[in-house]
């Protein structure tokens, strides 16, 4: 099973750790694309911090984030699941899982990264600031850069197992699974239900997705089709509705009334 996650905008900053070593990361076919991305970001933030802040969507009080980007090659790293923070990652609570569930997290989870394309929870990454819609000089828009490079790596990682797509729209464009993956692709949406109205609410969406991942990792079952996933989530206590199977996969709605 392959579970695709978005990163978090907020990130913790490790005080110590090894420097970033792209050769130590999984998906070695991405090394060249990662090198270009890191170089483009470092060059921008080193040459003109004011222009870099504007390109990154940062205000004048956030120049420390620009400076952090400028030092990425020598910055300390930590596990990706300690760098990424926020509602979704808090709800997953990977560090409080038992050893078996943490092992499944390492095998099943892939986090989209504007800086590195795709990483596993235990991969050593630095703290950085970069969004998918940022345009870098000489490289172009971040999402387009990764869309041109991620297909081989993630299609191979998916294999014949279920792909559970929990990415936000900003990161869904990094990799659009090919038609060959569609029969095994479940795109999960969380809807907040109040009375007779349903809508996507960020906090409910992130917290519920985090809890779904935690439940799947803890349970250890590995559904192989979107239909089996829907049945399994229902058995775990969620209200689930499924859409029709299409050439781009199958949508699964999880409907919640409270976090």
- Alpha-carbon distance of 184 to 157, in angstroms, equals 13
195 dihedral zone (left: phi>0; alpha: psi -120 to 50; beta): left
Quick one: average pLDDT of 173-202?
Answer: 90
Length of the chain: 259
Which of the four pLDDT bands, split at 50, 70 and 90, describes residue 259? low
pLDDT (tens digit per residue) in 134-158: 999 999 999 999 999 999 999 999 9
User: How many distinct structural domains can be found in the chain?
Assistant: 1
Give the domain range for residue 138.
Answer: 2-256
Is pLDDT above 80 for 112?
Answer: yes
User: What is the residue whose two structure tokens read 């409907």?
Assistant: 255
* pLDDT number for residue 10: 86
SS3 219: helix
11 dihedral zone (left: phi>0; alpha: psi -120 to 50; beta): beta
What's the pTM value of the predicted model, to 2 decimals?
0.95
The CA–CA distances, whole Å, from 83 to 13, 101, 120, 125, 172 equal: 7, 19, 12, 7, 21
SS3 202: helix
- Alpha-carbon distance of 233 to 228, in angstroms, equals 9
pLDDT (tens digit per residue) in 48-107: 999 999 999 998 889 999 999 999 999 999 999 999 999 999 999 999 999 999 999 999
User: What is the residue whose two structure tokens read 């952090």?
Assistant: 68
Is pLDDT above 70 for 253?
Answer: yes
- Within 10 angstroms of residue 123's Cβ, the number of other Cβ atoms is 22
Task: Look over the chain and give the mean of its residue pLDDT values, rounded to a whole number.
Answer: 95
* pLDDT number for residue 80: 97
Percentage of the residues of the chain whose pLDDT score is greater than 70: 100
């Amino acid at each position: 099973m392959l579970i695709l996650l978005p990163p978090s905008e907020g990130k913790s900053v490790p005080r110590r750790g090894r420097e970033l070593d792209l050769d130590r990361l999984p998906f070695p076919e991405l090394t060249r694309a990662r090198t270009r991305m890191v170089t483009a970001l470092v060059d921008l933030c080193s040459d003109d911090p004011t222009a870099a802040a504007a390109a990154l969507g940062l205000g004048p009080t956030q120049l420390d984030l620009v400076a952090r980007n400028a030092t990425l090659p020598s910055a300390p790293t930590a596990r990706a699941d300690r760098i990424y923070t926020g509602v979704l990652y808090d709800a997953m609570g990977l560090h409080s899982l038992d050893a078996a569930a943490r092992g499944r997290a390492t095998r099943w989870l892939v986090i989209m990264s504007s800086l590195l394309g795709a990483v596993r929870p235990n991969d050593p990454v630095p703290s950085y600031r970069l969004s998918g819609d940022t345009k870098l000089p000489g490289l172009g828009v971040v999402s387009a850069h990764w869309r041109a490079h991620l297909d081989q790596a993630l299609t191979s990682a998916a294999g014949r197992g279920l792909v559970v797509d929990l990415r936000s729209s900003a990161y869904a464009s990094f990799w659009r699974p090919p038609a060959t993956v569609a029969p095994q692709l479940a795109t999960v949406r969380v809807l907040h239900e109040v009375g007779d109205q349903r809508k996507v609410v960020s906090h409910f969406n992130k917290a519920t997705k985090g809890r779904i991942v935690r439940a799947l990792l803890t349970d250890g079952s590995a559904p192989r089709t979107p239909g089996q996933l829907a049945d399994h989530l229902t058995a775990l206590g969620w209200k689930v509705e499924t859409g029709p199977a299409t050439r781009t996969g199958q949508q699964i709605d999880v409907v919640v009334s409270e976090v």
